[in-house]
């Protein structure tokens, strides 16, 4: 007995909502061919067969370059391997070394936290302020937009070389500026105290325009009516900022906060060009440490263990961040 039913599952807008037959098999001597009957029974499989050629590269890529390597990293973290001799199984030996014998790991974690604490607030707040100023109908605003966005587009190596020169102790412009207002010159990249702020400064400069553009998109979604109504009620500019702008831009802020956090953990290029992790390990963050251990010292197993630690930390962060979203992100007033 054939039964045709309406299968109207609309998952998202635009997805096809066909009326589909249910999967009851018609009796053998009906007017339906075997092929059709089989195709109806194994509908899911036949759908996959249709779709498979299109997904093959993606699936391959996913397995070979994502899933496979993640699992391999976890496993490699349990070995000692320098690529020349066969890998040696050490179980939790790498982690023991990491947490208990090598003090360097804790220094690295401290550096990473320091970088994050310096970088994230600056890269979340400054672009927002800039975006608020940019969110006006000024003529030629496009030129400013181009200018602010430019550093994000140019390679970190090229800008790193200039910043090296700007940070130069004797002839760099920054120290010239400091000295011309009567302050002492700072040994920037040569000083364990100042190298990290120097790194952070360049990173913030580079990401300023990029985050600003994200905020601008969010700001432009705030209806002017809210501001107008508040003005009529006598609200001053900064009051409107705190009570209208900030809550309504919280979705963008959430996004910027999250990517700033993730990016601060992954900082590599600036470190490579400006400091190589020095001086005296003061700018050695986790991501550069992984690079150093894995590709300069060829401690593949240890580096994999470090990568596992990083993975866990970031997953925890992301989990909490997404959870707390409900607390402070307003999508509408």
Q: Which of 134, 201, 249, 261 binds another protein (CB under 8 A)?
A: 134
Nearer CB in complex with another protein: 214/248: 214
Instruction: Kindly state whether residue 217 participates in binding another protein, applying the rule CB under 8 A.
Output: yes
| Strand, coil or helix: 166 | helix
Question: Rounded to an integer, what is the distance from CA 71 to the centroid of its chain?
Answer: 21
Contact between 131 and another protein by CB under 8 A: the answer reads: no
Q: Work out the number of other CB atoms within 10 angstroms of the CB of residue 201.
A: 20
Reference 273, options 194, 149, 163; nearest CA is: 163
What are the percentages of helix, strand and coil residues in the chain, rounded to 5? 70, 0, 30
Binding flag, residue 265, another protein (CB under 8 A): yes
**268 belongs to the binding site for another protein (CB under 8 A):** yes
Among residues 78, 159, 189, 199, which is the contact residue for another protein, using CB under 8 A?
Answer: 159
For the chain, report the end-to-end CA distance as a whole number of angstroms: 54
| CB-nearer residue toward another protein: 196 or 206 | 206
Which 8-state DSSP code applies to residue 88? E
Residue 311 contacts another protein per CB under 8 A: yes
269 binds another protein per the rule CB under 8 A: yes
Under the binding rule (CB under 8 A), the answer on residue 304 touching another protein is yes
Q: Would you count residue 189 as binding another protein (CB under 8 A)? A: no
Q: Is 183 in the site for another protein (CB under 8 A)?
A: no
225 is a contact residue toward another protein (CB under 8 A): no
Binding pattern for the stretch 67-86 against another protein, x by CB under 8 A and - elsewhere:
-xxx-xx--x------x---
Candidates 101-109, 112-120, 156-164, 277-285; binding stretch for another protein (CB under 8 A): 156-164
DSSP 273-323: IIITT-STTTT--HHHHHHIIIIIS--HHHHHHHHHHHHHHHHHHHHHHHH
> Nearest approach, Cβ of 327 to another protein (angstroms)?
21
Q: What is the CA radius of gyration of the chain?
A: 28
Residues between 10 and 49 that touch another protein (CB under 8 A) = 11-16, 44, 47-48
Phi, psi of 329 (to 5 degrees): -100, 120
- What minimum distance in Å lies between the beta carbon of 30 and another protein? 25
Q: Which is nearer to another protein, 28 or 139 (CB)?
A: 139
Tokens of 81: 């391997």
Q: Phi/psi at 123 (nearest 5 deg)? A: -80, -10
With binding defined as CB under 8 A, does residue 149 bind another protein? yes
Least distance to another protein from the beta carbon of 106, Å? 19
Which pair of tokens denotes residue 174?
């920054």
């Amino acid at each position: 007995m054939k039964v045709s039913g309406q299968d109207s599952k609309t998952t998202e807008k635009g997805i096809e909502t066909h009326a589909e037959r249910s999967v009851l098999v018609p009796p053998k001597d009906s007017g339906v061919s075997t092929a059709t009957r089989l195709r109806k029974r194994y509908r899911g499989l036949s759908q996959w067969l249709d779709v498979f050629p299109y997904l093959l590269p993606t699936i391959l890529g996913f397995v070979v370059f994502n899933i496979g390597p993640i699992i391999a990293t976890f496993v490699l973290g349990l070995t000692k391997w320098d690529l020349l001799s066969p890998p040696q199984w050490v179980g939790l030996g790498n982690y023991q070394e990491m947490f208990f014998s090598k003090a360097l790991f804790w220094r690295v974690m401290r550096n990473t936290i320091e970088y994050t604490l310096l970088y994230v607030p600056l890269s979340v707040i400054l672009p927002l302020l800039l975006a608020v100023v940019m969110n006006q109908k000024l003529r030629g605003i496009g030129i400013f937009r181009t200018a602010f966005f430019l550093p994000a587009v140019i390679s970190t190596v090229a800008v790193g070389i200039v910043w090296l020169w700007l940070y130069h102790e004797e002839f760099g412009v920054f120290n010239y500026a400091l000295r011309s207002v009567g302050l002492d010159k700072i040994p920037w990249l040569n000083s364990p105290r100042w190298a990290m702020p120097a790194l952070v400064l360049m990173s913030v400069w580079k990401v300023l325009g990029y985050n600003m553009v994200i905020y601008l998109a969010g700001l432009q979604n705030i209806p002017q009516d809210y501001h107008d109504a508040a003005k009529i009620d006598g609200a001053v500019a900064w009051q409107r900022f705190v009570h209208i702008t900030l809550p309504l831009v919280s979705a963008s802020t959430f996004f910027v906060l999250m990517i700033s956090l993730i990016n601060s953990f992954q900082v590599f290029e600036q470190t490579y060009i400006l400091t190589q992790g020095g001086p005296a390990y003061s700018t050695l963050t986790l991501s550069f440490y992984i690079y150093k251990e894995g590709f300069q010292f060829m401690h593949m197993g240890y580096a994999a263990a470090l990568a596992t630690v990083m993975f866990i930390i970031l997953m925890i962060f992301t989990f909490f961040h997404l959870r707390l979203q409900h607390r402070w992100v307003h999508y509408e007033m």
